[in-house]
């Protein structure tokens, strides 16, 4: 029996379908929940860890594999993966790997982010472009196409200039290098978007209207912000800035004399990776503890934190540190890409292979990504675990995307 949608489409009732679509009649609608991975690094605090999700713990198999755009940056909402690549925005069924819809995005420069939009039945997916931020309907457009999927575009200029200066926020050449500079995050229906000129603009996820804007051009490019406990933090080249999340009021700035990476917030601290190691700040900006390492950290160094354990990769070593004191809990001698954590397992990669490590001991649970496997799929990009959920870990490798799960 044909579905209501098929009848609408088949009957040629374009307007009926149009208005049916507007009212959400019989449309596929993603349901967001606390089990989503709604943004890169999992949450607005940038922990790269989800307390309720789990992935494979023993040698996984490939549930599905698909070729998509190169260097796709992914999030998960319900059973749908959303990603942005060089030419557009794509929604992929997380169970089968099939594409639900694609929408072209002109000059997208960051990963998507899910934001709750109370005016709508479906969440908004924010994508940052060079000039502005674009809001998409997570449910796609009408009649299972991308037509009508774009909800809003934020104003092309903020304080007389575009959201970003392309010279200051170049698109990174590889998927493991820093795309996170300039990435927006979402919290309580607001998108916090770096402007690329030492500023942050807060956008309403319902309609993209700017709620507030803070800027100090001398700071230079701005990192992915983190939001926790009504405070927005971000790092510029060498300065950490704290703002009030509700109105953008400046709380404090602190210079750390290092080249800073995007920070991570916990309940009691702000963890700021930098070229020499890692510094933990109290919420008022004073230093809690600081660690420097023998080897300089690379540009993609990120913190993941769960269960009071900080996972941090320097150039040649993966460290597990006590979040309260910075003391080393364990180390592993490997160059690592940004890790993700779920259910006590740290998923990380040296570029060629995915490793799953026990967060308490660092003991390896499995590795995945043999040479023969790479040849079989002709996957020559760097293997990187991007998110966890539904018992799977999703791995990107150049233009390839793998969903791994326990057999």
Partner 1 sequence: MTEDTDARTAPETTPTATLSRLIRRVRARLVDDPLLCVPFLLAGVALSLIDELRRHDPVPARSLVGIHRLDFSLELVLIPSGSRGVRRILGGLTDLQPRLLLWALGLETAALGIVALAGYLTLARALDTGWSATSAGTYLLYVALTTGVFWIIGPLYVNLPLFLVMLWGPFVALWFLGLVRLFAVPAAVVNGQSLLDAARWSNDAVDNREWAHLALVTFFGVLLWLAELLSVGSTLISFAVVGPLHAVAVAVVSETRTVSE
Binding site for partner 1 (CB under 8 A): 18, 21-24, 27, 29, 118-122, 135-137, 139, 141-142, 147-153, 155-157, 204, 206-208
Is the Cβ of residue 137 or residue 301 nearer to partner 1 in the bound state? 137
Is the Cβ of residue 156 or residue 322 nearer to partner 1 in the bound state? 156
Distance CA 191, CA 240 (A): 19
CB of 194 to partner 1, least distance (A): 21
Distances (CA, A) of 277 to 20, 97, 214, 370, 406: 55, 38, 28, 31, 35
CB of 121 to partner 1, least distance (A): 5
Question: Length of the chain in residues, anyone?
Answer: 407
CB of 191 to partner 1, least distance (A): 13
Distance CA 22, CA 183 (A): 30
Is the Cβ of residue 140 or residue 398 nearer to partner 1 in the bound state? 140
CB of 159 to partner 1, least distance (A): 12
CB of 155 to partner 1, least distance (A): 7
Is the Cβ of residue 26 or residue 290 nearer to partner 1 in the bound state? 26
Is the Cβ of residue 135 or residue 398 nearer to partner 1 in the bound state? 135
CB of 12 to partner 1, least distance (A): 15
**Contact (CB, 8 A) for 357 and 65:** no
319-323 contact pairs (CB < 8 A, 24+): 319/291, 319/293, 320/346, 320/359, 320/362, 321/278, 321/291, 323/266, 323/269, 323/271, 323/280
Is the Cβ of residue 56 or residue 126 nearer to partner 1 in the bound state? 126
| Helix or strand holding residue 271 (H, E) | strand 270-273
Distance CA 238, CA 259 (A): 5
**Contact (CB, 8 A) for 266 and 323:** yes
β-bridge pairing 277-281 and 287-292: antiparallel
């Amino acid at each position: 029996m044909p579905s209501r949608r098929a009848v609408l489409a088949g009957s040629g009732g374009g307007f009926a379908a149009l208005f049916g679509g507007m009212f959400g009649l019989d449309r596929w609608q993603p349901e967001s929940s606390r089990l989503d991975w709604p943004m890169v690094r999992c949450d607005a605090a940038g922990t790269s860890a989800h307390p309720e999700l789990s992935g494979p713990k023993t040698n996984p198999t490939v549930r599905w594999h698909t070729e998509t755009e190169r260097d796709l940056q992914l999030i998960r909402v319900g059973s749908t993966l959303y990603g942005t690549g060089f030419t557009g925005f794509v929604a992929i069924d997380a169970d089968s790997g099939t594409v639900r819809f694609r929408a072209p995005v002109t000059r997208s420069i960051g990963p998507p982010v899910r934001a709750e939009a109370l005016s709508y039945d479906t969440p908004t997916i924010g994508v940052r472009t060079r000039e502005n931020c674009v809001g998409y309907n997570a449910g796609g457009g009408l009649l299972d196409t991308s037509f009508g999927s774009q909800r809003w575009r934020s104003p092309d200029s903020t304080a007389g200039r575009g959201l970003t200066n392309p010279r200051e926020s170049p698109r990174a050449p590889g998927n493991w290098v820093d795309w996170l500079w300039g990435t927006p995050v979402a919290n309580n229906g607001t998108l916090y978007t770096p402007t690329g000129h030492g500023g942050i603009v807060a956008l309403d996820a319902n309609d993209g209207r700017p709620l507030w804007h803070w800027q100090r051009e001398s700071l230079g490019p701005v990192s992915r912000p983190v939001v926790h406990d009504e405070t927005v933090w971000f790092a510029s080249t060498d300065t950490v800035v704290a703002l009030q999340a509700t109105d953008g009021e400046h709380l404090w700035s602190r210079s750390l004399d290092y080249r800073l990476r995007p920070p991570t917030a916990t309940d009691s601290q702000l963890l700021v990776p930098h070229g020499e190691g890692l510094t933990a700040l109290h919420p008022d900006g004073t230093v809690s503890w600081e660690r420097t390492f023998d080897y300089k950290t690379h540009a993609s160094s990120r913190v993941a934190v769960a269960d009071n354990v900080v996972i941090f990769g320097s150039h040649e070593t993966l460290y597990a540190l006590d979040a309260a004191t910075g003391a080393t809990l364990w180390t592993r001698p490997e160059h690592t890409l940004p890790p993700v954590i779920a259910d006590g397992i740290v998923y990380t990669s040296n570029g060629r292979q995915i490793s799953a490590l026990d967060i308490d001991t660092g003991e390896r649970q499995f590795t995945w990504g043999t040479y023969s496997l790479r040849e079989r799929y002709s996957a020559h990009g760097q293997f990187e675990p991007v998110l966890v959920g539904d018992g799977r870990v999703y791995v990107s490798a150049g233009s390839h995307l793998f969903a791994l799960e326990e057999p």
